[in-house]
Amino acid sequence: MSEAENKYAGRTVPMTVNGRSALELSGEMGSNRCDVLFQTKAGYVQVGMNLNADTAVKGVKACDGLDKVAEAIEPSVGKDN
């Protein structure tokens, strides 16, 4: 994850996804974009969400619930990766 931490310095928050080292990345494309990157043996998986202006106005933030989406996807990566 150090490569991603360096690439996105100052815009990440460390976290875990089902026990894997992970980062929450915000501000990549403005406040309506959020990504969660979790570690694999080959690199990392990036799960992202973009919100349209109408959703953002309703008080929903791009990172809301994205951790749960990443947790749901992670098992499909496989334990050996």
pLDDT digits (tens, 9 = 90+) for 50-75: 887 776 667 778 888 999 999 999 99
Q: What is the span of the domain harbouring residue 38?
A: 2-77
Q: Whole-prediction pTM value?
A: 0.83
Cα dihedral across residues 55, 57, 59, 64: positive or negative: positive
Burial of 62 (0-12, 13-18, 19+ CB in 10 A): buried
The helix/strand count (H/E) of the chain reads as 3, 4
Residue type, 11: R
The span from the CA of 2 to the CA of 25, in Å, is 13
Query: CA 17: distance to chain centroid?
Result: 9
- Could you tell me which residue, 13 or 59, shows the higher pLDDT? 13
- Total of domains in the chain: 1
